Chain A
């Protein structure tokens, strides 16, 4: 924010007071943008009668139907548990492998380095649209259909190219002296990765972890194709299923949506700065 301060301050000099039209437009746009969020929040505590007679204005706190949230939690609680399991495993797994891969590319210019790097880079340009059909038959032939492990593996694989790409740049910026000093002390590559790279790349690992987690959380296409049993449904398939089942009780559905958002709300409350900073940093580098 400090750079913004340096820029914003002088540019306004001499034209004070002309800012309110901008604020008005921005606020109007943001209001419409936040409308779905607002509707979700206020409908989630209404029963059907209250919703039909008055869909717009929130109820006074005394009339809130808090049991909506309870039934919402009952509806999708198991799906959330499955999703948390998949998202955490996929995020940890993909970052772990990506760190190893990025260390390989960043540390030395080994023989075949360029060829291997090309194998990664090509995937950045290659559209994945045709992959979905063969992926299904691949998972079927190795008996991974209808299992959460399949989703974890796909999550790990899906993040590799992007994560290795960003982490490599980051590791290359770490001063070489640190690695050399560690090597003299007899540290193995694995120890160097653990004691030098990981402590020094906290922000980028955090940003990548949030992005990977969000990706796993929002995914519905692969779960839709892979999962069959209701006990294994992740949030994506669960919400689709809910959309087909409960057509009338909007309050409960919105409550279920709200419950589905709570884990993300918690994560964002704690990492918002990291997230905004990470996005901006990535943009400048790219």
Chain B
């Protein structure tokens, strides 16, 4: 930080410099601060999005408490958050594997292959997966049939679940049965490799010096021990940042559910998440005030998590 602290006189002379920050500041005030404050304000109103609004005190928030769909959607998003945390494991494992490959040439090519899926727009990947889930022409059912894995699912269903959704000769309705919605949302994106995540972990792993590995070798550490005591501590910071971003992103995201399952969250509303419920309330029913209240509930929830994380979760480097 070699910045020069300026005297008030110099600052007065350099007043033009303030013009540099005005456009940027104006943008975030208008498009980030104003909407957030407006949401807080309007969560106390009966508001249909226009000029007409009526102050109704905390009625919207009382309504939140008795909104069964909303609480069910929190359960759903909770399951998805936990699943997504587990879905971080393949990226970490892949990064470590690529890092341990001895040949630099291969390491380079693996990076290139990792990046290739990123050149497909996210939406396209999503729709291709939707196509994979298609019961008749989709590839997921075809793969299950060919590999014989479907009979495992059928046995599993018959003996343990008793759902009757997996049956011989009947295509599995992945996005068409309420009980299969959450499994489908979890399965989505298999094998769950996040290219950006892997590249970031790889960058972290590269900072491990040779002497650390040599010391580990002398101590007779095996591959797993090297991971726990050498590699994992070094990418802990990146893993933690990714974890936080992932949890926050999952909690407020609803694009996946909207596109795979539609406005209603799929059959039986089994894929309804809080964000999608807010979207529904605002843009389908026109209850903007209530939608703002849902938004504020999520806002406070996420802010609380961020606060707890910053205050209590410390990772020593």
Contacts and interface: CB of A to CB of B under 8 A. Distances in A.
A133 B299 contact: no
A5 B115 contact: no
Contacts of A107: 3, 17
Majority DSSP secondary structure for residues of B touching A: helix
Contacts of B303: 125-127
Given A108-B10, A127-B302, A235-B123, 15 more contacts: A8-B101, A8-B103, A11-B213, A16-B102, A26-B110, A37-B120, A97-B24, A107-B17, A110-B6, A110-B14, A127-B252, A133-B292, A136-B283, A240-B259, A272-B115
A67 interface: no
Interface of A: 1, 3-12, 16, 19, 22-23, 25-26, 29-30, 32-34, 36-37, 39-40, 51-52, 55, 97-98, 100-101, 103-111, 116, 119-120, 123, 125-138, 140, 153-154, 156-158, 160-161, 164, 172, 176, 189, 217-218, 220-221, 225, 235-236, 239-240, 243, 250, 253-254, 257, 260-261, 264-265, 267-268, 272, 275-276, 279-281, 283-284, 286
Interface string B168-200: 000000000000000000000011010010011
B21 interface: yes
Contacts of A133: 35, 39, 42, 278, 282, 288, 291-292, 295
12 contacts: A16-B102, A26-B110, A29-B193, A33-B117, A104-B17, A108-B17, A110-B17, A129-B251, A189-B14, A235-B121, A272-B115, A284-B203
B68 interface: no
B8 interface: yes
Nearest to B8: A111
B35 A135 contact: yes
Interface in B267-304: 275, 278-279, 282-283, 288, 291-292, 295-296, 298-299, 302-303
Contacts of A189: 14, 16-17, 20
B52 to A, nearest CB: 12
Given A29-B191, A104-B20, A239-B124, A276 B199 contact: yes
A172 B3 CA distance: 7
A102 to B, nearest CB: 8
A279 B200 contact: yes
Contacts of B213: 10-11
A108 B3 contact: yes
Given A33-B117, A110-B17, A123-B28, A19 B11 contact: no
A261 B124 contact: yes
Interface string B138-161: 010010000000000000000000
B30 interface: yes
A11 B121 contact: no
A250 B137 contact: yes
B34 A272 contact: no
